[in-house]
């Protein structure tokens, strides 16, 4: 699919989907993948008209946008970080957690970033976020999901190759990723 939607089109799209199911829906705002950013006003409009839209994976990378979104939706919509390198800033903006790539290989650590925050150990949460910043960067050093699949294969999880048009990482990219995995004890 290659059409870039308008903000009105996004609203209508989610309104129609929400009308076909009573199940809770989480919106994904990942402009780097879609070429289209869902503005906070659009998300608030969706939250107003679709009661079963209960959350958003916010991966715009724009903390000012997250602040605006939080001010518009309040408690009506759960906000989740969509970027592993921005979990703590999102939690500070009222976020409820993370929909994470890194959790595929570091589930306990990714969970602990959030758990520490919610337990009031903001310094510990931040320390973990910073300690894993190189991992988050390595896992986004190429087009997602290429690096996470490489990482999972490198640590023995055998998830197979990417489907075309995605291909494996370059030798230099794989070596750099392996170095970070070794640093964090995931490879010998």
Distance between CA atoms of 104 and 84, rounded to whole angstroms? 11
For residue 138, how far is the Cα from the chain centroid? 15
Q: Is 80 a catalytic residue?
A: no
For residue 59, how far is the Cα from the chain centroid? 6
Which member of 28, 68, 96, 137 is catalytic? 28
Which member of 14, 57, 80, 149 is catalytic? 57
Do 75 and 52 meet the contact criterion of CB atoms below 8 Å apart?
A: no
Q: Is 57 a catalytic residue?
A: yes
Distance between CA atoms of 144 and 81, rounded to whole angstroms? 16
Nearest to 16 by CA among 44, 41, 53: 53
Beta-ladder partners of 80: 57, 97
Token pair listed for 106: 């570091």
Distance between CA atoms of 94 and 79, rounded to whole angstroms? 7
Per-residue b or e along 122-151, where b marks 16 or more CB atoms closer than 10 Å to that residue's CB: eeebbebbeebeebbebbbebeebbbbbbb
Residue numbers annotated as active site: 28, 57
């Amino acid at each position: 699919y290659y059409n870039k939607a308008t903000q009105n089109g996004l609203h209508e799209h989610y309104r129609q989907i929400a009308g076909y199911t009573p199940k809770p829906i989480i919106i994904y705002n990942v402009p780097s993948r879609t070429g289209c950013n869902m503005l906070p006003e659009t998300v608030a409009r969706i939250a107003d008209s679709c009661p079963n839209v209960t959350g958003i994976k916010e991966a715009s990378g724009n903390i000012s946008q997250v602040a605006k979104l939080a001010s518009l939706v309040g408690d009506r919509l759960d906000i989740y970080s969509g970027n592993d390198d921005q979990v703590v800033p999102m939690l500070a903006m009222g976020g409820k957690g993370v929909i994470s790539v890194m959790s595929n290989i570091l589930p306990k650590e990714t969970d602990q970033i959030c758990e520490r925050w919610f337990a009031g150990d903001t310094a510990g949460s931040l320390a973990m976020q910073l300690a894993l910043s190189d991992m988050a960067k390595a896992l986004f050093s190429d087009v997602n999901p290429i690096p996470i699949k490489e990482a999972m294969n490198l640590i023995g999880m055998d998830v197979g190759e990417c489907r075309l048009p995605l291909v494996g990482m370059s030798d230099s990219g794989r070596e750099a990723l392996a170095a970070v995995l070794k640093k964090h004890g995931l490879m010998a």
